[in-house]
Chains A and B, each alone.
Chain A
Amino acid sequence: MNGMAAARAAATPSLIRVERLTKVFGTATKALDAVSLDVPRGQFLCVIGPSGSGKSTLLRCLNRLVEPTSGRVWVHGEEITAQSGEVLRRSRRRLAMVFQQFNLVRRSTVLTNVLTGRLGYQEGLRRFVPGFSPEDRAMAWRSLDRLEIAEKATVRADQLSGGQMQRVALARALAQQPEVLLADEPVASLDPETAVVVLDYLRDINRSDGITVLCAIHHLDLAKKYADRIVAMRQGRLVYDGLPGDLDDAAYRRIYGRLGYD
């Protein structure tokens, strides 16, 4: 590492930096209220909080699927909130996303779905015609193999079970060769056993590939099991930031406004 790079690394200790991020829907509803957050590279961060607390909006503002009202987001020292067009699309490549409803292209095959993770890498004329390069195909097969779902490659996505769909969505995300994986309630539509399987894959992607994970999740026990760090949101604000083991009854009451279980 040369001097310049070291200096830059010191100036930007976090991979993701969120500064006073605010999102107002309509005129009154503050989905995010001046949220600030630093996420170091390689962390498995779980964002917990009740429904409507702003977890999903926070994640969607990071890749600008939702346009923040004010505040700034940096990834890798580059300000995402100042980007547009081709530059923004290049940043999105680094920030893969998986969703509660999986959001696979249901009428396309599993392989085609994973290949769409390569769209951000297509250059020139390739972008204007259907089809993918042999390198992209090889990458898609590796991702499918990694998620142990390669035998479903030629099956239409709408024929899969929920757990299989989320594994395909993770393969699509991996094919994107991201630095960050934004997981928006990835197991909320799955039964408890399948949820654990999917989260195990997510943890493996985090540990083996060094991909930073931001996971919105409302199951507190799952968050405690998988997270390196937990932040909690309530009514658009960050109300807790700490280690999973430190999340005690007092903190719980602060997040959910009462003691109890989901």
Chain B
Amino acid sequence: MAASATTDEPRRTLPELMAEAERLRTRERGLNSALAVVLLVIVAFTWNRTGFDPGALIQHADNIGRILSGFSHPDFSALVDPILLKTLETIYIAVLGTVLGALIAIPVSFFAARNLMRRSALGTGVYLVVRLLLSVIRAIPTLVWAIVYVIAIGIGPFPGVLALTTFSVGLIAKLFSEAIEAIDWGQVDALTATGANPLQVVMHGVVPQVTPYMVAHVLYTFEVNIHSSTYLGLVGAGGLGLILQEYVGLFLYPDLAMWVIVVVIMTTAIDYSSAAIRRRII
């Protein structure tokens, strides 16, 4: 028994161990200081390149005051028509875009999961192609997707839905394939051992493990889509963005104030309730 207690490393004295710990602590402090310097250089450089100028805020205080003055008397006559009507349209765009995106993304994400796919040459090929496509979809900003669809089919909420659908496919498939990659493989082994075929193994062994994540990721995507769909109208893709452009262009600050108030209330309400549901699921 005692034989197993011996180790290859020679025993070190307490002062030696303390010196070693002290050396590590000094090194860590040095690293932290170096990190702080690097961060400072980065801020200074980007400050310079972006023409960052806090003085301009004071210099143009009267302009800012004019915009903010709208909040002292927001235009309630614009509340229902058009703001609330357009808010509803924004929510419809986000809901449909998210649902359609999820319907496409969920099957796709199994083909983008490394652990399921990289078990054969064919699987690896499909995996790499799907991953690449999803990266490209995500690399193109939602606003650019909206411009593309508006040019293709004209203005209105429909191109907005298509833009959010496209973006949602990229986001949901990424998040969900990562959930699939984190499953407990033992449960997969157990089903493989019953003689189940690969599709049966996924249906009965993988899907039950990832269902809560699927719901959570779709809800999260919906939150992001609500934010996006408030400005997609800037390029003609429906929703609240269209009237935002009008208010800013015509200097209608009381209406702009009303718009901001409604958007803040709507997005925070949806963010909070969606996040609350997500917390309960996972």
Contacts and interface: CB of A to CB of B under 8 A. Distances in A.
Interface of A: 63, 65, 86, 89-93, 95-97, 99, 101, 103-108, 112, 116-122, 127-128, 130, 169, 172, 176, 182, 258, 260
Nearest to B190: A103
A92 B197 contact: no
A89 B196 contact: yes
A92 B194 contact: yes
A237 B1 CA distance: 23
Given A92-B192, A105-B205, 4 more contacts: A92-B195, A93-B195, A116-B204, A119-B196
25 contacts: A65-B189, A86-B197, A89-B195, A91-B195, A92-B192, A96-B194, A99-B186, A103-B184, A103-B186, A103-B187, A103-B190, A104-B190, A105-B187, A105-B208, A107-B209, A108-B208, A112-B204, A116-B191, A116-B194, A116-B205, A118-B194, A120-B195, A120-B196, A172-B194, A182-B193
Contacts of B187: 103-106
B135 interface: no
Contact of B194 (A120, A127, A130, A260): A120
Given A108-B208, A116-B204, A103 B196 contact: no
B186 A93 contact: no
A137 B193 CA distance: 19
A129 to B, nearest CB: 9
A85 B184 CA distance: 24
Contacts of A106: 184, 187, 209
B209 A105 contact: yes
Nearest to A126: B200
A85 B199 CA distance: 13
B3 to A, nearest CB: 7
B189 A103 contact: yes
Contacts of B203: 130
Interface string B1-19: 1010000000000000000
Q: What interface size band does chain B fall in?
A: 20 to 34
Given A103-B187, A119-B204, A96 B193 contact: yes
B115 interface: no
B245 interface: no
Contacts of A116: 190-191, 194, 196, 204-205
A117 B3 contact: no
Nearest to B204: A116
B211 interface: yes
A93 B194 contact: yes
A89 B196 CA distance: 7
Interface string B39-71: 000000000000000000000000000000000
Nearest to B185: A103
B197 A89 contact: yes
A65 B208 contact: no
Nearest to B192: A65
Contacts of B212: 107
Contacts of B190: 97, 99, 103-105, 116, 169, 172
A130 B209 CA distance: 15
Contacts of A97: 190, 193
B189 to A, nearest CB: 5
A164 to B, nearest CB: 16
A17 B122 CA distance: 33
B121 to A, nearest CB: 15
Contacts of A95: 193
